[in-house]
Amino acid sequence: MQKFEELREKYPEFWYNRYEIWEGETEIELEFEFEIPGLVQFHPKLKIPKKSLPYRAVGGDFVRNLAFQIGMVELVSYYKATMAPKIVVKCGHLDAWQIEWWKKLYYLGLGELRFVNGIEIGERELVEIECEGERIDADAPEGEARGYLIPIGGGKDSIVTLETLKVDSDRDLALIINPKPVTRECAELAGLDDAHVAEVWRTIDPELMRLNCEGMINGHTPFSAMLAFVSYLVAYLLGKEYVVVSNESSANESNVCGCAVNHQYSKSFEFERDFRQYATRYLRGSVQYLSFLRPLNELQIAKIFARLEKYHSVFRSCNVGSKGETWEWCGHCAKCLFAFVILSPYLYPEKLVKIFGKDLYEDESLWSTLQELAGKAKVKPFDCVGTFEEVNVALAMTIRNLRETSQQLPRLLEQYEKAYGLVPEEDLTERYNHENALNAEQEKLLREAVLRDR
């Protein structure tokens, strides 16, 4: 808290100086300039390779407005270094409603960062936003929009979306941010080869890395909010009607008991609802943004994914492993353990051990992480993991499966049962969250997938 207060006093303003979007022969590029006066300027970039995809021409106020809005969400990664009490937008204008919208996103999107760094401050006190630039008001030009743009990250959720939506390569495209072989292979297995994959290459300014190394404020930022704005731009440029993300109902749960601190805030229904409202009022295109998996919980998604065997050797959900040359399961982090737990009612032991290369339930070093995932500690791991209820039900289901087949319990399950017993029987796969934005056709496809094995 002391460092936070000292930095805010020393660097009282953060400037959003300019944004640019231009089109070259082979790619579309966005560049932003942010500044902490007296300290540093940042110049992050986004590059969108055209490949052979039918991108609309970049130009006009509508696209300029989208680029400006992307800068408003991109800046949070740089603003967090000093968390200045004032953001000065020098290259555009926001009305009072927009300013409150962005203040809410910054506050809740940085909730984990505030908690981890011991920063105690209210939403209204965190930051003021002052605008010095001109406003852009522009509706989307006339043009046909059809099909889905589906962001994929290599995990089970986006794979379930790809398979359940029955993607059509004549109509639909995948979107990948900073592609890796795993994400490309997932798209290809779904029938979307490289010619049907839009790419965005996001570059972090190395000056931010330097400040992080020097001890400035650092931590989690709302990546999925950035994805929402960028995917909206890409969908418009490619003439797609829907951006379909893969955030489930479980993303709504806080990581800290009794506090609104959610690692997945920008994956929550609250953010989805807010973004849809913002897009209608201020982006003003025909693109619809929604999460296809919002009605489901993690256990339902895992049950569907368990049937999709062609992806079992390909998918990855480990952030630690994603940083290496080859994206492998590290087998030690909370996200690896959660994926193992939630799939275990359907794939344990043989198939799941083959996927991960070892039996995580036999690794006693993961006991404290398992307790955190199951809600036996004050804080849930800050990662994209499911709810306490889902974890406990998955563990109970797996233990019962093993007992019914007279198999010995692995160490962690034996320890869990001894310490906590088993939760009462409840089939979470019967649930359906009605807080969602699906249309009738999308809902029909999802319900068919859930009901398939009943």
What DSSP string describes 69-117? Answer: HHHHHHTHHHHTTT--SEEEESS----HHHHHHHHHHHHHHTHHHHHHT
Question: What pLDDT score was predicted for residue 414?
Answer: 96
The identity of residue 288, as a single letter, is Q
Chain mean pLDDT for the chain: 94
Nearest to 290 by CA among 275, 305, 302: 275
Q: Which of 231-245, 317-331, 402-416 has the lowest mean pLDDT?
A: 317-331
CA distances from 405 to 270, 359, 400 (A): 42, 18, 9
Question: What pLDDT score was predicted for residue 258?
Answer: 66
Strand 45-49 to 40-42 pairing = unpaired
Question: What pLDDT score was predicted for residue 137?
Answer: 86
Of the two residues 312 and 319, the one the predictor is more confident about is: 312
Band the pLDDT of 384: cuts 50, 70, 90: confident
pTM of model > 0.85: yes
The SS3 assignment for 451 reads helix
DSSP 312-339: TTT----TTGGGSSS----SSSHHHHHH
Band the pLDDT of 397: cuts 50, 70, 90: very high
Residues belonging to the chain: 454
Kindly state the average pLDDT of the residues 30-38.
98
Question: What pLDDT score was predicted for residue 325?
Answer: 66
Question: What pLDDT score was predicted for residue 255?
Answer: 82
Tokens of 64: 């300029």
For 232-268, write each residue's pLDDT tens digit.
Answer: 999 999 999 999 999 999 888 878 766 778 888 999 9
Kindly state the average pLDDT of the residues 302-314.
96
Percent of the chain scoring above 70 in pLDDT: 98
- On whether the CB atoms of residues 240 and 146 are closer than 8 A, the answer is yes
Nearest to 29 by CA among 56, 65, 67: 67
